[in-house]
């Protein structure tokens, strides 16, 4: 073929090769669809379809954070995802293989939902006469209800192109393992025998069989396929037996009002890490399904919930206010005190301005507390296991706060000015500073919120078990307590009069107090590195240099404007530097590796003292070995936790006491979001860290230590636990 003709047909050959890629490479092809709150696509377990075989094609939903879709039985509200298939002649689709859902409590309702990413696999039967070498397109019209505080019906039409191949196709390289994992974990029959009986208004469901013999049934829950057989919200009491368990359920409409009573009770029995399909028939409850009482973990959960509920609203409000007051003394808040001191000294002898600053600071604290509380309530209502301080579990938020703290420090150092002219500062007479005081209050809450203080833990535990309005009332009490000392000082002329008159010392003090803010920015950068790794940290450090450069340019532009010179170029360069910094952080966050699963490897906790990764199973195993167990619920963003680790869990006396009492230190690291840790905190009526538990050897409930530790407290606790 002449060269000129070859170039003429080359584009067509390239297009043909691209279109034929699925056949040549043996891979499935699909394109995701954005519906508003969900990214939807079809993915396949197999890279192709063999004639006469069954392939599993899954509807993948990547759900926006805070939102959720629903299981086949949505619970008290909602609607299940529905799929209508358009397939080639002879191809047929089976039913959805539903993964085990999550429990999502919204006020008095209980829904069964999915959050994050979920795959809904469907078996597709390939006809025996499917032509090898052909390419088929599978089309699905999916409709689903996606909810947060409001619900939005959304739908999508998605397609998947599959090559028909001879023999058994390989696994799809991108999604095959994920679909296979979903199928492996999906509830399946396991030869379990199940019976049910109504006893005095309680519906007893007894399940026995080999998989339940000796299993941990502490988290057992029955998800019914029908929405009318039981009332969903009530707790399902568990009674253990040598061969299984018995659940006490609240009968629903079908058992209480329907004329024809159910002849079977079908659904999913979910345990810790396992789920089984069960179909119960009427019958006598067997003795081997009970008689051993509630699981050991049940009393701890009941106690945690009871402690929160027993407070009542008036006492919870009082505890919240006192906890907010004490929070000012926690190490988390120390860096922010420098901002408070600088703003207060600037107007110490101007009573009117000082009071305005106090009120602005109060507004910043209250509004930020309520916004964080509202987000926390909404996310938990959506089914996510998060607690107080959740914002610092997001690398993007941590990076943003680090850069913001750097800007605040540069502002206090005089690199640039906000809310006052350069001339005004030079003469010691700045503006009223309302915006700065509001921002100070907001930043104080953002940095201090991850920590908890005495009295505060019980109040938060109560708040997160109540309806939204009562929860917000408790958080308001916490905000008022936190802001009270500064506001009272702002309205106390006699105290402020003791400060020296304004002068050059104020500028020196302000610049000196900038260094705790630099330290806060460095600490947040370290937290970010713990969450993401080295490459994103490098991007954040580069962004920090750009932010500092932008601040210097902005200050230069302010000076040139005052001198009557052109300031447009420095302003423009400052804006470009900030945009570049934001882009670098965004790239770093996207490049952050996925959260790694916790390992049992030992982690140094101080000279001679090591910790192991926590899990509920490890606590029980160590207790059974006759060891004392101390659990440290901590996070890298919790300053109080780090202070305790450096002062109370590091000395040689503690090391010797641990060795003498045969104590093992377990660390539950909540730096990154972890649903198991969140659930354990909730069991003890806590919404955040730190939390310290000391379990006695053998068995028994743990002792809860104070949130501010000393060596003596720790030593006394482990020695007492060792004595039984």
- pLDDT tens figures, 441-488: 787 777 665 555 555 655 665 665 566 787 788 888 888 988 888 788
Domain termination residue (choose one: 512, 536, 558): 512
CATH of the domain at 226: 2.60.40
Distance from C-alpha of 571 to C-alpha of 554, rounded to nearest angstrom? 6
Q: What is the pLDDT of residue 183?
A: 93
Q: What is the pLDDT of residue 337?
A: 59
Distance from C-alpha of 588 to C-alpha of 534, rounded to nearest angstrom? 10
For residues 323-357, b (16+ Cβ closer than 10 Å) or e, as one string? bbbbbbebbbbbbbebbbebbbbbbbeeeebbebb
Q: What is the pLDDT of residue 639?
A: 61
Q: What is the pLDDT of residue 502?
A: 53
Domain termination residue (choose one: 267, 295, 323): 295
Q: Phi/psi at 325 (nearest 5 deg)?
A: -60, -50
* Closest to 369 (Cα-Cα) out of 445, 439, 313: 445
Kindly state whether residues 199 and 286 are assigned to the same domain: yes
Has residue 687 been placed in a domain?
A: yes
Has residue 163 been placed in a domain?
A: yes
* Closest to 381 (Cα-Cα) out of 674, 147, 153: 147
Beta-strand relationship, 663-669 and 609-613: parallel
Burial grade of 474 (CB within 10 A; 0-12, 13-18, 19 or more): buried
Domain that holds residue 286: 193-295
Our CA angle for 271, 276, 279, nearest 5°, is: 125
Against a cut of 0.75, is the pTM above it? Answer: no
Domain termination residue (choose one: 484, 512, 540): 512
**Sign of the torsion angle spanned by Cα atoms 234, 239, 240, 246:** negative
Kindly state whether residues 379 and 262 are assigned to the same domain: no
Distance from C-alpha of 325 to C-alpha of 485, rounded to nearest angstrom? 7
Q: What is the pLDDT of residue 282?
A: 94
Using an 8 Å Cβ cutoff, are 701 and 675 in contact? Answer: no
Q: Phi/psi at 708 (nearest 5 deg)?
A: -105, 115
Has residue 259 been placed in a domain?
A: yes
- C-alpha to C-alpha distances, 676 to 224, 273, 574, 616, 690, nearest whole angstrom: 24, 12, 44, 9, 16
Q: What is the pLDDT of residue 396?
A: 77
Using an 8 Å Cβ cutoff, are 58 and 51 in contact? Answer: no
Q: What is the pLDDT of residue 70?
A: 94
Total count of domains within the chain: 4
Q: What is the pLDDT of residue 624?
A: 84
Q: What is the pLDDT of residue 632?
A: 92
Q: Phi/psi at 35 (nearest 5 deg)?
A: -105, -5
Kindly state whether residues 131 and 229 are assigned to the same domain: no
Beta-strand relationship, 663-669 and 628-634: parallel
Q: What is the pLDDT of residue 299?
A: 40
Give 661's contacts (C-beta < 8 A, 6+ positions apart): 628, 718, 719, 721, 722
Has residue 347 been placed in a domain?
A: yes
CATH of the domain at 640: 3.40.30.10
Kindly state whether residues 30 and 94 are assigned to the same domain: yes
Kindly state whether residues 454 and 354 are assigned to the same domain: yes
CATH of the domain at 116: 2.60.40.1250
Q: What is the pLDDT of residue 381?
A: 53
Q: What is the pLDDT of residue 278?
A: 95
Has residue 383 been placed in a domain?
A: yes
Distance from C-alpha of 714 to C-alpha of 324, rounded to nearest angstrom? 25
Kindly state whether residues 123 and 262 are assigned to the same domain: no
Q: What DSSP line would sit under 282-333, residue for residue? A: E-PPPGGG-SS-S-THHHHHHHHHHHHHHHHHHHHHHHHHHHHHHHTTSGGG
Q: Phi/psi at 88 (nearest 5 deg)?
A: -60, 160
Beta-strand relationship, 117-125 and 92-93: antiparallel
E strands present in 220-291: 221-224, 237-240, 244-249, 265-271, 274-282
Has residue 548 been placed in a domain?
A: no
DSSP annotation of 107 reads: T
Q: What DSSP line would sit under 169-211, residue for residue? A: --B-TTTHHHHHHHHHHS-B--S-EEEEEEETTEEEEEEESGG
Q: What is the pLDDT of residue 49?
A: 92
Has residue 15 been placed in a domain?
A: no
Kindly state whether residues 639 and 703 are assigned to the same domain: yes
Distance from C-alpha of 378 to C-alpha of 387, rounded to nearest angstrom? 12
Kindly state whether residues 90 and 149 are assigned to the same domain: yes
Give 654's contacts (C-beta < 8 A, 6+ positions apart): 606, 609, 648, 711, 714, 715
DSSP annotation of 663 reads: E
Count of C-beta atoms within a 10 Å radius of residue 628: 25
Has residue 678 been placed in a domain?
A: yes
Distance from C-alpha of 477 to C-alpha of 489, rounded to nearest angstrom? 19
Kindly state whether residues 416 and 487 are assigned to the same domain: yes
Using an 8 Å Cβ cutoff, are 635 and 689 in contact? Answer: yes
Kindly state whether residues 86 and 128 are assigned to the same domain: yes
Kindly state whether residues 352 and 484 are assigned to the same domain: yes
> Residue 686, CB half-sphere, CA atoms under 13 Å: how many?
25
Q: What is the mean pLDDT of each run of 10 residues along the chain (724 residues)?
A: 42 39 51 91 93 95 92 90 94 95 81 94 94 93 86 90 88 90 92 92 92 86 94 88 92 85 93 90 92 63 44 75 75 59 58 76 86 71 49 71 80 70 32 67 70 58 66 84 82 63 63 77 79 80 89 83 72 85 81 43 48 87 90 78 78 88 90 74 74 87 84 89 82
Kindly state whether residues 387 and 491 are assigned to the same domain: yes
Q: Phi/psi at 140 (nearest 5 deg)?
A: -135, 130
DSSP annotation of 390 reads: G
């Amino acid at each position: 073929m002449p060269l000129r003709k070859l170039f003429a047909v080359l584009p067509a050959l390239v297009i043909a090769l691209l279109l034929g890629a699925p056949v040549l490479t043996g891979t499935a092809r699909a394109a995701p669809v954005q519906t508003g709150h969900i990214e939807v696509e079809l993915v396949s377990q197999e890279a192709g379809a063999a004639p006469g075989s069954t392939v599993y094609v899954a509807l993948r939903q990547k759900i926006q954070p805070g939102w959720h879709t629903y299981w086949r039985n949505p619970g008290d509200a909602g609607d299940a995802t529905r799929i209508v298939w358009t397939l080639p002649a002879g191809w047929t689709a089976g039913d959805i293989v539903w993964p085990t859902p999550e429990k999502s409590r919204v006020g008095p309702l209980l829904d069964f939902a999915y959050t994050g990413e979920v795959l809904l696999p469907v078996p597709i039967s390939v006809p025996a006469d499917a032509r090898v070498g052909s390419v088929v397109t599978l089309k699905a019209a999916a409709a689903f209800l996606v909810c947060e505080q409001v619900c939005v019906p959304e739908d999508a039409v998605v397609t998947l192109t599959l090559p028909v191949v001879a023999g058994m196709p390989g696994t799809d390289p991108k999604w095959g393992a994920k679909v296979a994992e979903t199928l492996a974990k999906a509830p399946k029959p396991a030869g379990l025998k199940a019976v049910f009986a109504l006893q005095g208004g309680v519906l007893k469901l007894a399940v026995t069989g080999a998989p339940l013999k000796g299993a941990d049934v502490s988290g057992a829950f029955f998800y019914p396929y029908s929405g009318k057989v039981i009332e969903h919200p009530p707790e399902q009491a568990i009674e253990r037996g040598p061969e299984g368990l018995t659940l006490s359920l609240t009968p629903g409409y079908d058992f209480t009002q329907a004329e024809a009573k159910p002849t079977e009770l079908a659904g999913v029995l979910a345990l810790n890490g396992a789920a089984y399909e069960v179909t119960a028939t009427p019958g006598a409850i067997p003795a081997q399904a009970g008689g051993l009482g509630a699981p050991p973990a049940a009393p701890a959960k009941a106690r945690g919930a009871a402690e929160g509920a027993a407070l009542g609203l008036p006492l919870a409000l009082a505890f919240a206010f006192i906890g907010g007051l004490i929070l000012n003394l926690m190490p988390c808040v120390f860096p922010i005190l420098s901002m408070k001191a600088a703003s207060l000294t600037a107007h110490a002898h101007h009573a009117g301005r000082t009071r305005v600053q106090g009120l602005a600071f109060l507004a910043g604290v209250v509004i930020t507390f309520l916004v964080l509380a509202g987000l926390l309530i909404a996310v938990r209502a959506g089914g996510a296991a998060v607690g107080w301080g959740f914002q610092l579990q997001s690398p993007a938020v941590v990076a943003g706060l680090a850069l913001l703290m750097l800007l605040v420090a540069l502002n206090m150092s005089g690199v640039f000015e906000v809310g006052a002219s350069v001339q005004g500062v030079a003469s010691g007479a700045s503006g009223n500073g309302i915006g700065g005081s509001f921002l100070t209050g907001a930043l104080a809450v953002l940095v201090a919120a991850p920590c908890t203080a005495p009295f505060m833990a019980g109040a938060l535990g109560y708040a997160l078990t109540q309806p939204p309005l009562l929860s917000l009332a408790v958080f308001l009490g916490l905000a008022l307590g936190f802001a009270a000392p500064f506001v009272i000082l702002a309205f106390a002329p006699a105290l402020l009069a003791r400060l020296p008159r304004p002068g050059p010392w104020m500028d020196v003090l302000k610049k000196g107090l900038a260094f705790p803010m630099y330290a806060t920015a460095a600490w947040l950068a370290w937290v970010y590195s713990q969450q993401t790794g080295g490459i994103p940290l490098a991007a954040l450090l580069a962004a920090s240099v750009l932010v500092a450069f932008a601040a210097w340019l902005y200050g230069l532009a302010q000076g040139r404007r005052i001198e009557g010179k052109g300031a447009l170029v420095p302003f423009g360069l400052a804006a470009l530097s900030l945009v570049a910094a934001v882009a670098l952080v965004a790239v770093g966050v996207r490049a952050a590796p996925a959260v790694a699963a916790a390992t049992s490897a030992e982690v140094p906790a101080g000279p001679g003292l090591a910790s192991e990764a926590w899990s509920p199973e490890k606590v029980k195993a160590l207790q059974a070995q006759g060891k004392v167990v101390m659990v440290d619920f901590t996070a890298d963003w919790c300053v109080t936790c780090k202070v305790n680790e450096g002062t109370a869990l590091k000395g040689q006396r503690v090391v010797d006491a641990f060795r003498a009492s045969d104590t093992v230190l377990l660390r539950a690291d909540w730096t990154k979001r972890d649903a198991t840790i969140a659930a354990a905190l909730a069991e003890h009526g806590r919404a955040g860290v730190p939390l310290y538990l000391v379990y006695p050897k053998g068995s028994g409930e743990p002792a809860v230590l104070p949130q501010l530790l000393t060596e003596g407290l720790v030593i006394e606790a482990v020695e007492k636990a060792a004595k039984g």
